[in-house]
Structure 1
Amino acid sequence: MRPDKPAEIFDRDTEWAELTRFATDERPGATLGVVSGRRRQGKTLLLYELARATGGFYFGATEATPAESLRRLGDALGAHTSAPGPVHLADWPKAVDALLALGRERPVTVVLDEFPYLARASRDLPSIIQHALTPGRPERASSRTRLLLCGSALSFMGGLLAGSAPLRGRAGLELSVPPLDYRTAAAFWGISDPLLAAKVFAIVGGTPAYRREYVQDDVPDGPSDFDDWVVRAVLNPARPLFREARYLLAEDPDLRDIALYHSVLAAVAEGNGTRGGIAGYIGRKATDLQHPLVVLEDAGLLARDPDPLRSGRSRYRIAEPLITFYQAVMRPAWTALEQRRGADVWRRSQRRYASAVLGPGFEETVRQWALRFAPLETFGGIVAEASPAVLTDPASRTSHELDLVALGEPPLGDGPRPLLAIGEVKWGRTLGQPDLDRLARARDLLITRPGVDAREVRLLLASAAGFTDELRQLASHRSDVILADPDRLYAGE
């Protein structure tokens, strides 16, 4: 019987269901699972509560020598099994077999949290686990240990099961614990006002720890309290959230040239999303950026959006809102913030906050709405991809920046891919008839474009500032026009 999710775990129903399915599997033979996700997402809470609910064993690793780690693991095993004293573990092969022995009589959850600490100190540990889980090996066959390896170093955890890695093909579970989506984050923060929820999400994103541990449940008390909240909770040197964006880079062992990575992120935060734009901003050749861009992607800090209308082109965006806020607002005024002049910094940063933080954040929210929450009939089909794009007009030699290009699922066999919608997204500007006309002209260009089927393209206009009465009236009589404001984005539809 699968255990119920503890009340202290907010949301995470899918993750809990997958973990309990894996942990309570009655079939003979030890099995392996890998759990990953950026720090502060609640992985440790999930796995600790899973071990407790199933009567399993949880071990949180630390940075230590192999001998110390084995000693700590032996102490924890002794306490878990009620042995007279610590269990002596001479080496990692014996330690892994001791963990498999826990599951001789029933399925037993065994969690090795912060596994990268162990594997970096003992490079052969993944190979040792691979050998221990060899099919037909008596220690594996007689065990029903459900071994879960967990870590926050995304590039390392992703490599555990990739390519020719020792554990490839051994795992029965590969679970990622992502940040909360924008709607779930609003519920988690207890914010019902859509505009306020969007403004808070643009700063702290969907990381659960930022509310509980990092600001001690300090939530804006309505829209009028937002500015004061930013000053006291985010721009306050006494709050842990103040330095968190710096720590996100410093604590990842794969990010060695911290100055370079900060510069790359600053370039993207300033709106330089192409490789050439980033290179120009930081004073490097575009060819020199391959490694840092891949590392930041692997670390989950940068995301690359391929341009669906220009083959081989893509744009980068920062995947963690707090880093965008830090690069755009905090880093340029760091000295003043350390001198506790947060109110002054915030007052003079409003334009940068709106253009570099709120605007891009709202665009991504609209794209996530199209992908995850909009009813099927809104776009006339399933939105499989949603990204920004640049549409070129060969006749006039001009280009149109589209904040949203929504593609449907690829057709079976040959044929162009359905293009469901194109969109304009603005945070601080009321949209009207001229904006709709511009999208309509872009649609005319797409209809003759090879590679996509643009015959049923709908026109999306999204704005946090709303729409003119003329546009609302027009949209009410046209099925090809979609208007989306924060109320609609955060509604249950």
Structure 2
Amino acid sequence: MPRPSLPAKPPHVFGRDAEWDGLSAFAARPLPHAMLGVVSGRRRMGKTYLLRALVEQRGGFYFGATTATAAESLRQFGATLAEYTGSPAPFSFATWDDAISYLFGLALPERGEGPVLVVIDEFPYLVKTAPELPSLIQREIDRFQVRESRMRLLLCGSAMSVMGGLPASTAPLRGRAQLELVVRPFGYREAADFWGVADDPALAARLHAVLGGTPAYRRQFLADDVPGSLEEFDDWLCRTVLSPLSPLFREARYLLAEEADIRDTALYHSVLAAVAQGNTSRGAIAGYIGRKSVDISHPLHVLEDSHLLVREADVFRAGKSHYRISEPLITFYEAVMRPSWARLESGQAAQVWERSAERFASQVAGPHFEAVCREYVLGPGQALLDSFPGQVGSGVVTDPAARRQIEIDVAAVEPGSGAGRSSVALLGEAKWGTVMGVKHLERLRRAREILAQRGTADTGGCRLACFSGAGFSDALRAEATRDGDVLLIGLEDLYA
């Protein structure tokens, strides 16, 4: 079946091209049966903004749920649906069963032509008071697989654990969704464009290390208060993120409290604080908070399901992994704000920030820079490699002769197929505040040599990359000129 031509994305929607194309294609698909889509993503990502734009363009029905009782939610739904259909009086549904049946009836073929787009936003609010809703929707979706229907239903929500469970395992909607879209933060380059700082890589990198790629922070939280230059960054940070008068001041706490599965917030903050301070293995996290490893399994799983924590495999050691906080603002809060919370609340932002420079560099900007470098290799940096990387991550190479471990911040590996060996395309080290020299390159060369000696991976085409936010020594630049396998990548290259 040929794909219908789709209307262009509205000019007021920044970025989100892939998301818009996926949603538009779903809404316009000319199939004769009902279709279901699930849209999720943490708060502040612009899901509602995106879906409202789609509804306005296609003349669909939008209902945004609120925290309310089951009866009030049903009453609100009936009133909004009546307004959409042009009814002079609100609909009075006795149960959600009646409401969902009526909703699907609007998409019957005899009631019009073309797909009918329906968006139910903040769906977890409804499920909390009406847990039967997924089953009711499943019944209608199944019924209109054999009967003709123009329904294109999108369920959206920010509670990641709830939304992720809708199409999973034995849930009623398992196997019913034709679209599962997670709206994620902007990448570091797109975020720089959104904030208007792409021409100042040093400022863009610091801004992204604190606020990441969450679009709502600029417009809704800060009313377009953006630092104009790197020299303005400190003052800007003190009057925004570090000011008790700013909506961003308590945002990191709210992000944690909004997740439905999180009850003991103190425990979860302790887990995040452990990771922010460099305790990235399960054992190290447990030791930091004074618990056994088995006791923190549930908090770790909940934080992963909430997209606040990500577990990354060691690309060189099977079975080994480490955790990383995926929301930069939480890392900043745990490393800089939480230890000095009382002083910040009393208005001492400038003094706290002045004394936090080393902690910011080592616990916030440094690890964040490493993650950005991996994102670069996955994206525009692929052009520097001879082959397409199957996996980009980090890992540890053990040097048995020196009895030490060499940490590789950026590694591009192509897994082997069948009995074939894997191939290592790139080994990289990333330093945020250090001018990199020849000693950093020699460490990478030694890691490549060890991998070659093991014989488990092909390193014949492996290039060595030094990523630095502070620059490179003349000796290292000379070495890179002599050796074509050595790459020097600075902030300007990351944002070029």
TM-score, normalised relative to structure 1 = 0.96
Describe the SS at the equivalent of 1:240. coil
Distance 2:446 2:273 in 1: 34
Q: What does residue 272 of structure 2 align with?
A: 265
| Offset, 1:137 | 6.2
Q: What does residue 113 of structure 1 align with?
A: 121
| Offset, 1:2 | 2.5
Match status 1:124 vs 2:132: yes
Alignment of structure 1 residues 65-464 onto 2, 5 Å: 65-104=69-108, 105=112, 106-135=114-143, 141-191=147-197, 192-376=199-383, 378-408=384-414, 410-464=415-469
Deviates more, 1:302-311 or 1:1-10: 1-10
The one-letter code of the counterpart of 2:8 is D
Output the aligned Cα RMSD. Answer: 1.3
| Offset, 1:164 | 1.4
| Offset, 1:477 | 3.1
| Offset, 1:451 | 3.6
Distance 1:392 1:478 in 2: 25
**Residues 468 and 489, structure 2, Cα contact 8 Å, conserved in 1:** yes
**Residues 99 and 145, structure 1, Cα contact 8 Å, conserved in 2:** no
**Residues 309 and 391, structure 1, Cα contact 8 Å, conserved in 2:** yes
The one-letter code of the counterpart of 1:472 is R
Describe the SS at the equivalent of 1:315. strand
Distance 1:113 1:295 in 2: 22
Distance 2:216 2:365 in 1: 22
**For each residue in 1:405-444, what CA deviation from the matched residue of structure 2 results, as whole angstroms up to 9, or x when unmatched?**
2112x34432121111111110111111121111111111
Structure 1: give runs of 5+ residues left out of the alignment: none
The one-letter code of the counterpart of 1:132 is E
Deviates more, 1:313-322 or 1:449-458: 449-458
**Residues 115 and 152, structure 2, Cα contact 8 Å, conserved in 1:** yes
Distance 2:343 2:170 in 1: 50
The one-letter code of the counterpart of 2:276 is A
Describe the SS at the equivalent of 2:379. helix
Counterpart pick for 1:474 among 469, 479, 485 = 479
**Residues 208 and 328, structure 2, Cα contact 8 Å, conserved in 1:** yes
**Residues 235 and 342, structure 1, Cα contact 8 Å, conserved in 2:** yes
| Offset, 1:136 | 5.3
Match status 1:62 vs 2:66: yes
Q: What does residue 15 of structure 2 align with?
A: 11
| Offset, 1:450 | 4.5
Distance 1:165 1:454 in 2: 45
**For each residue in 1:234-291, what CA deviation from the matched residue of structure 2 results, as whole angstroms up to 9, or x when unmatched?**
1111110110000000111111110000000000000110111111111111121111
Percent of aligned pairs sharing the same letter: 53
**Runs of 4+ in structure 1 over 6 Å off:** none
**Residues 29 and 145, structure 1, Cα contact 8 Å, conserved in 2:** yes
The one-letter code of the counterpart of 2:178 is G
Counterpart pick for 2:46 among 39, 42, 47 = 42
Structure 2: give runs of 5+ residues left out of the alignment: none
Q: 1:3 to 1:89 in 2, by over 3 A?
A: farther
Describe the SS at the equivalent of 1:352. helix
Distance 1:353 1:136 in 2: 55
Distance 1:418 1:160 in 2: 38
**Residues 161 and 260, structure 2, Cα contact 8 Å, conserved in 1:** no
| Offset, 1:454 | 2.1
| Offset, 1:73 | 0.5
Distance 1:482 1:156 in 2: 44
| Offset, 1:186 | 0.2
Distance 1:162 1:137 in 2: 20
**Residues 272 and 325, structure 2, Cα contact 8 Å, conserved in 1:** yes
Describe the SS at the equivalent of 2:142. coil
Distance 1:478 1:209 in 2: 45
Aligned residue pairs total: 487
Distance 1:136 1:200 in 2: 49
The one-letter code of the counterpart of 2:299 is P
**Residues 33 and 145, structure 2, Cα contact 8 Å, conserved in 1:** no
Deviates more, 1:445-454 or 1:349-358: 445-454
Deviates more, 1:294-303 or 1:84-93: 84-93
The one-letter code of the counterpart of 2:304 is E
Distance 1:278 1:412 in 2: 35
Deviates more, 1:67-76 or 1:102-111: 102-111
**For each residue in 1:46-82, what CA deviation from the matched residue of structure 2 results, as whole angstroms up to 9, or x when unmatched?**
1111111100000000122222111110000111111
| Offset, 1:396 | 3.3
**Residues 93 and 132, structure 1, Cα contact 8 Å, conserved in 2:** no
Distance 2:127 2:281 in 1: 35
**Residues 102 and 143, structure 1, Cα contact 8 Å, conserved in 2:** no
Deviates more, 1:97-106 or 1:250-259: 97-106
